[in-house]
Amino acid sequence: MADNYLSDLNEAQKVAVVNTEGPSLVIAGAGSGKTRVLTYRIAHLLRKGVPANSILALTFTNKAAEEMKERIIKIAGYNNSRYLWMGTFHSIFARILRVESDKLGYPSTYTIYDATDSRSLVKTIIKEMGLDDKVYKPSFVAARISAAKNNLITAQVYASNKSITERDRISKIPMLSEIYLRYAARCYKSGAMDFDDLLINTNILLRDYPDVLSNYQQRFNYILVDEYQDTNYAQYLIIKKLSEKHRNLCVVGDDAQSIYSFRGARIENILNFRNDYPDYALYKLERNYRSTRTIVKAANSIIINNKGQISKTVYSENSEGDRIRIMESMTDGEEGFRIASDIFDRSLSEQVKWEEFAVLYRTNAQSRIFEETFRKKNIPYKIYGGLSFYERKEIKDILAYLRMVINPNDEEALRRTINYPRRGIGKTTIERIFEAAANKEVTTWEIISDSSSYQPLLTPATWKRVQVYTDLVNSLSSECTNADAYGAAIKTATVTGIMKELKEGQTPEEISRYENLQELLNAIKEFTDAAETNGEPNDLAAYLESVALLTDRDTEKEEDRNKVTLMTMHSAKGLEFKHVYIAGLEENLFPSLMSLAENMGLEEERRLFYVAVTRAKEYVTLSYALNRYRWGKLENCTPSRFLSEIDDDYLQYPPSAEKNDNYRPPEYKRPFDRRRTAMTDKSVEYTSPHERNLKKFKPATGYNTGDQQLAAEKDLKEGAVVYHERFGRGTILSIDGEAPNTTALVVFDDSGEKKLLLRFAKLRLNDN
């Protein structure tokens, strides 16, 4: 054990580590050692003699939890650390629900549906209800259900809330509440929970069973939460309930990096921590160990424009570093080519590995141009957040069989496996079985397991083929009862015929699928051995739970390492690279058009820009195009307002056409007010406004001026039928605010309800 572990910390970090009692808020600036403080604080508790099983530590990725645990073991020793409750929110709550599942009417072997399973079930329900899947898009409906659950709105509450159902009616999706009701019922009948259920059901458990709440309150003397700014309402409530008794709650995060509101994250959780715990202690980690001084100062000049923030002064003692480069391209195609060329040249001239480069963009669609140009230049790349190993068909097929082994009521797994490998059970037969189960209000497994009671449903020949499947599942369930996860997986892959089918493949794609199956079995073996060594459950149920809760970052493979990373800015959080290129810095793309309707949306976009810039250790390139293709049409673009918020001292501008060896500032400048804001430890307030001369990039030709937009706004009234280039035909429900911040609430025929800032919306009156 390391006796001098505190010497690894700077003074600010040490103060945050050793003061372990009472509620604590640790505000950690980008690159300031947030994870180290959380790790050492836990290790310090263990070294003080606090029992490991009385410490609850919650993270957002399994990888972060594992890395922290390894470091804690080095400091506090394996035996002292062995029984820590450390993991992601979902994995910890799934563990609690396994023990308490009977109280909520679930089996202890309940299945966890991933996003693909959830969308598949939603799609099935939409089809069964005879609804148009272009109106009720499965991904949109699944997202609405997820958002409701994150706000603790159950299907019954949703359906009975007149305000919600009326809004759905106006948005021309009146059957959404019925879809939600059916979705919830089908999950329950299948003995399955989706990711959001793990949170909402934990809340229900703690709400409805005071003895259970008291038990876990008593158990967890110390609760620590990573990335607190990313917690949603459901997570916030669970943390608040569990910490009520001992009140030794330590949350670590950075309000300036709160960028996941679209997933339900609430920046208010961290900003209002002092309201929930008036006696809290505030600790600030302000030294950035990652980036150059120039990058840190530039990032500070960006984020200072936000009103909702906790005041801090992030600084760096690294080298001054190069200025941030501005790259201007005529088109988005040229932007892709120039960035690819720059990466290729720098890699050769500086002997930098590909993995040290990252290209960040606002939307996934922007990756196409970079993929094409990287292929042409033979630059190896990976797309972060692409198809996960566990989303590949052959992997999902075998995992579905393993799910059937422990929970035959899992209808999504049954649908996937009943005719794979092929056994002559067609789609029509499968739909007939599922329809009968829905009509009889029983599980599909009950139907196919009792052919005598449902004889007229299928022909005798079809029943025989179905019987082969049910006998197979029953046999595997019996034989795998006492087996570890690896033994059960090998048995299942062999007996089902999946291994034989994949092994016989001859094409490169088929060979790859067989290799993927081998890789999966290797992973299951590693899980089984590690669990056995650590004295943890190593059965099939434990393995399937661990797989269901994996994140993209947990599944990165070694061969993906030395490649240029292409990713959205949202995916980049928590990562770092030597060279960072931020592409598409144009108005209506970044900041996104959808964010401009309200100040909170714009502030989150600015935080996203702050996160993107602070991923860089040494070099940042900010790129924009003056023209970009949208819906097959080349449109003029205006450089992002965020470029004008960075102090000139930290920027290197594009060379002029006349003098390539010289850099010049933008031609168009104008002064405007920048309100600097700060949040004291007690309240949020404006500081005195400062007048500054800040650059403004020259608008592209054809840019609508404020006067032109205001003239158009005069004709926009409530009830007017309008047309939007992206969303199509719609009707204005209401108009609020005064120019230049007038907004319109519009319900579009195809896209539903949208709130638009009129000076950017470019709405046209529809004469039809």
Known catalytic residues are: 34-35, 226-227, 257, 615
Tokens of 451: 């052919």
Q: Write the DSSP assignment of 594-661 as a string of letters.
A: GGTTSHHHHHHHHHHHHHHHTTEEEEEEEEEEEEEEETTEEEE--B-GGGGGS-GGGEEPPBPSS-TT
Task: Report the C-alpha gap between 142 and 149 in whole angstroms.
Answer: 11
Q: Name the residue among 399, 352, 294 with its Cα closest to residue 651.
A: 294
CB distance 359 to 568 below 8 Å: no
Tokens of 401: 């069989």
Say if residue 408 is preceded by a cis peptide, omega within 30 of 0.
Answer: no
Task: Report the C-alpha gap between 286 and 15 in whole angstroms.
Answer: 13
Q: Name the residue among 729, 727, 730, 759 with its Cα closest to residue 743.
A: 759
CA distances from residue 329 to 75, 198, 590, 701 in whole angstroms, order as listed: 51, 47, 16, 15
Q: 708 φ, ψ to 5°?
A: -65, -40
Task: Report the C-alpha gap between 177 and 169 in whole angstroms.
Answer: 10
Tokens of 405: 């082994």
Burial class (CB in 10 A: 0-12, 13-18, 19+), 677: middle
Q: Name the residue among 222, 217, 184, 186 with its Cα closest to residue 200.
A: 184
CB distance 577 to 615 below 8 Å: yes
Residue 277: strand, helix, or coil: coil
- Classify the C-alpha dihedral 441-447-449-454 as positive or negative: positive
